[in-house]
Amino acid sequence: MEISNTTEQPPEESLAIVGACAPGHLLRSLPARATGVAGFSRGPLSLPSQLAAQRGFGNRFALCLPIFATFGDTPVYLSIPPDPRPGTIDFTTSDVAHTPLLTSPANAGGYYIPVKGISVSWHGVDATAQLPAGALDLDVRTGRGGVVLSTVTPYGTMRPDVFRAFARAFDDAITRGRIPMTTVERVPATKPFELCYRGGFPRVKVPWSWDVPRIILELGDGATRNWTVDNNNYVVEVGGALCVGILPVDGPGGPAMVIGGKQLENNLLVFDLEKQLLGFSGLLDTALTSCNRATFHRN
């Protein structure tokens, strides 16, 4: 395996990484031209763990899907218009909110965050999902419940009871927050999606997408701000309708919610396993930048 080095010359070097061959049928769901999977869990054979053990990077890495991953204390510079110069802000230290990372005894390699509630906001209307007390909590004894990040789950998922409360809140925000004199209606779902709408969703320029509700994951103690899921992190266009890329999944004993790949795209995530913190930028589109505008090399 070859990696780019931000501090030394030559800029690329080879490292021996333990891997395993897999039958072809296990790779069929991968994107075109992909030939394998690199694990980013807490496990000892994950890519971050192996690189940290070989090079002393420390238990810290950053991920910005679908473009890059960096390891150690590598800065990630993102230019923000109107300044076109690279290196204007180191997003790993300057502009990333933080939340504690939790661990589950049932999924030791997973990255869990403390979500206490879910709300939906649109045009000044706030609708709160009416969840039972502790519905999103992680049971530290059994490992049941909780909210976990997953790069292999394409769309976010919720346990059915959580999804029903979320869907009611989303419908409420749509009904009360729509622009006057416009119509927004729920339309028959297109599988696998359950929530699909058509009507008065104008286009917005920042970011270039649809004017739709914001989904707010209300984080618990230790978080510096809530996690907001904006338009491009959940909207899926299907047959002229806009669908919510979050699905109900009945998994007894599993997580209450999975934050999937759609929600993680173009969101700079900084995993600091020594401090047990997760940094998150939010959708970079809203700052008029993106993962593919990043630079890494130190001056």
Q: Edge to edge, what strands does the sheet with 235-238 contain?
A: 184-186, 196-199, 241-244, 235-238
Cis peptide leading into residue 207 (ω within 30°): yes
pLDDT for res 250? 86
Cα separation, 255 vs 159, whole angstroms: 7
Residue 32: its pLDDT value, please? 64
Single-letter amino acid, residue 194: E
Identify the pLDDT of residue 285.
86
Nearest to 196 by CA among 216, 208, 210: 210
Kindly give the parts of the chain with pLDDT less than 70. Answer: 1-36, 38-57, 80-89, 91, 94-95, 206-207, 297-299
What's phi and psi for 36, nearest 5 deg?
A: 180, -175
Amino acid 299: pLDDT: 47
Provide the whole-model pTM: 0.87
**Distance between CA atoms of residues 202 and 105, nearest Å:** 45
User: CA nearest 98: which of 226, 283, 278?
Assistant: 278
Query: What type of residue sits at position 274?
Result: E
Amino acid 262: pLDDT:
97
